[in-house]
Amino acid sequence: MKKARASLKWQTVLLVVVTSVAIISGLILASLLLFQQSYLNLEQQAVRQQTHLVVSLIQKEQEKLERFVQDWGPWDDTYWFAQNQNPDYVKDNLTETTFASQGFNLFLVVDKEKRVVFYRQYHLERGEWVNYPSVGFLEEILRHPYLSERAENVAPLEGVLSTGDGLWLIAGYPILRNDFSGPRAGTLVVARQLTESFRERLAAQSGLQVEFEKIPAGEETTWEGVVSPVKVQRLDAEWVRGSVVFRDLYLRPAFRVSVRVERAIYHQGQEVISFFVVTLMLSGAVYGLVVSRGVQALAIHPLVKLVERLQHIRETEDLSLRMPEEGHNEIALLAQHINATLEALERSAERIRKDQDRLNHQARHDALTGFPNRLYFFERLQQAVQRVQHTPDLRPALIFIDLDGFKMVNDTYDHAMGDRVLRIFAERLKRSLRGSDFIARLGGDEFAILLEDTVSLDEAVRVAERLIQITRQPFDLDGRQVFLSMSAGIAQVLPNQRGEEILRNADMAMYAAKGKGKSRVMVFDEEMHQQLRDQLELANDLRVALEEDQFTLYYQPVVRLPDGWITGVEALLRWKHPRRGVLLPSVFLPVAQAHGLMPLVDRLVVEKALAQLRAWNEQGLPAVRLALNFSALSLQETSFTEWLEAMLRNIAFLLSVWKWKCWRPRWHRISVISCSRWSG
């Protein structure tokens, strides 16, 4: 008793502690994730803003260059200078003061043939002229298509250029008259070199640590526009960096601008999070203590009594015992409900056991025959595969059975008669097989037998042949005898196979038996699998052939033997296969029949034959009797016969029925033939 009470007490304390710790830990974790991520987002937002500030300063320098070329490009003095190189223009305008005040290092005039008219470079930091051109600058700028434009109304050229001696901000504009009229005399280009002093000035203006990094040729880019989105990268616990990449005039990555920022926001967030976590832990500890004491006083001690009584009922397994119902609180109500539950359990325990057995049997067995169903069969088949893996000498086999002509029984009589046939057939199987053989109905008229104790396929073949013999015995249905047969396919159960694969192999063998004339047994081999793939490929080719009109008709004369007179012709269909050559109907018509393509083939034959008749008639040839071959399946379709009647009016017609469908009801076939002959 004391042991149970102490156990419940400490379990409750442990539960409260664990729950409190879990809740607090969850809150701490959530707050860490939420707050820390929030501060990280704030930090990244601040870095992006500061990086954009530096980018905007660079863009202001670019805009300053653009305003200059837009002011000097459409100017008569520049226009005439581009054509006659007036030295007064240089003396009056291109002074050191102009370069220094406008903030550019290079002044370039190019004519409309992309020839350099004037080039001057000034060192802003040293305040002196540069007598040698920038390395690679002219080569890079002169191949830009902007300089060969003939139009006057174009946007300014702007961007970055990377050369051998550094990076340049570029601005260009067409050289025009004051009124912006042409023709265009060339292009004015000015450039500002991004030197170390320029970087220092950016750092001073922004109050940030700014770095320039030239990007090697060949680096891939994935963004749209000249400037990439800001990339934020944490360097260490003290610094974070924001960077953007500028593309040059040819949309190649030119240089990277980086801004280093101290992580003041992040450290402030860490202090706030630490304070919140400590406060949350102290609050959780107090909460856990209060809840633990309250639960013990209000619930644990009363519940211990109920636990002791339930333990006694469990030990004695006596459902007639009841809980003591003391007081008027929820625990007393719980005792009442427990007593009611005990009464219900006592009444229904036996019923539940019986229902469970019945449901288990129904879930795994066929309702009509009582045989195991597909689900149960696959379980046993998988167990057989596992036994083969551990006992290599065993050779279990699977027999897949399908009743030949069963559909005709359903169509001729009704489904109730069909069910009786299946029950009789199931009883014959049960009497003819051993107790160790596992029989299952997979659905419809398909059955499967798992021979688990066989040591060779020959034994399985003998079992299947015996079953074929008993199936040939007549089925007595209220005085009417029905004769059926069965086709069987056998597949061996091998290690490491899936149940679906084994059943598929047996199924293919069964269909191979049906293809050989039914009422026989076939053993699966890989050649059957290949034949099935070949048939599927031929069916796909047949659909393409019908669309692309790969068929042709050969006309064989029908000769009257006594005098050798040609009385007519018979249209013979041939398929000109693009890879396999000319195919006879015996190759592709069974495939068309199996895949429901015969009506399309028959329509094609009629259309081609009648077109040939019209052609012979137009050539003045005498009338001839034409014999066509159809599928009986097509003749049983009302839509086809109506179409055929319309096509055959006023045409001499001789009909022969395709032999593969002669098993169809005779009266229906005769009516169709008569109707077609009347149309002729």
| Contacts with 22 (C-beta within 8 Å, 6 or more apart), sequence order | none
On whether both 494 and 436 belong to a single domain, the answer is: yes
* Within a domain: 16: no
> What's the CA gap between 548 and 552, in Å, rounded?
12
**Which is it for strands 186-193 and 166-174: parallel, antiparallel or unpaired?**
antiparallel
Number of domains making up the chain:
4
On whether both 55 and 182 belong to a single domain, the answer is: yes
- Asked if 399 and 506 touch (Cβ cutoff 8 Å), the reply is yes
- Asked if 449 and 438 touch (Cβ cutoff 8 Å), the reply is yes
Give the residues of the chain that fall short of pLDDT 50: 1-5, 652-680
On whether both 410 and 507 belong to a single domain, the answer is: yes
* Within a domain: 106: yes
Query: Of 597, 598, 551, which Cα lies nearest the Cα of 576?
Result: 551
* Within a domain: 294: no
* Within a domain: 1: no
Domain hosting 95: range is: 51-260
On whether both 503 and 624 belong to a single domain, the answer is: no
Point out the domain boundary residue: 333, 363, 393: 363
On whether both 382 and 448 belong to a single domain, the answer is: yes
On whether both 359 and 416 belong to a single domain, the answer is: no
Element housing 180 (H / E):
none
On whether both 84 and 211 belong to a single domain, the answer is: yes
On whether both 90 and 238 belong to a single domain, the answer is: yes
Residue 558, helix vs strand vs coil: strand
CATH assignment of the domain containing 127: 3.30.450.220
On whether both 601 and 465 belong to a single domain, the answer is: no
* Alpha helices for 296-404 (secondary structure H): 301-316, 330-364, 374-390
* Within a domain: 137: yes
Single-letter residue type at 465: E
On whether both 213 and 174 belong to a single domain, the answer is: yes
* Within a domain: 14: no
* Within a domain: 505: yes
On whether both 349 and 381 belong to a single domain, the answer is: no
> What's the CA gap between 27 and 78, in Å, rounded?
72
* Within a domain: 224: yes
On whether both 353 and 373 belong to a single domain, the answer is: no
- Convert the pLDDT of each residue in 642-656 to its tens digit: 887 777 665 544 333
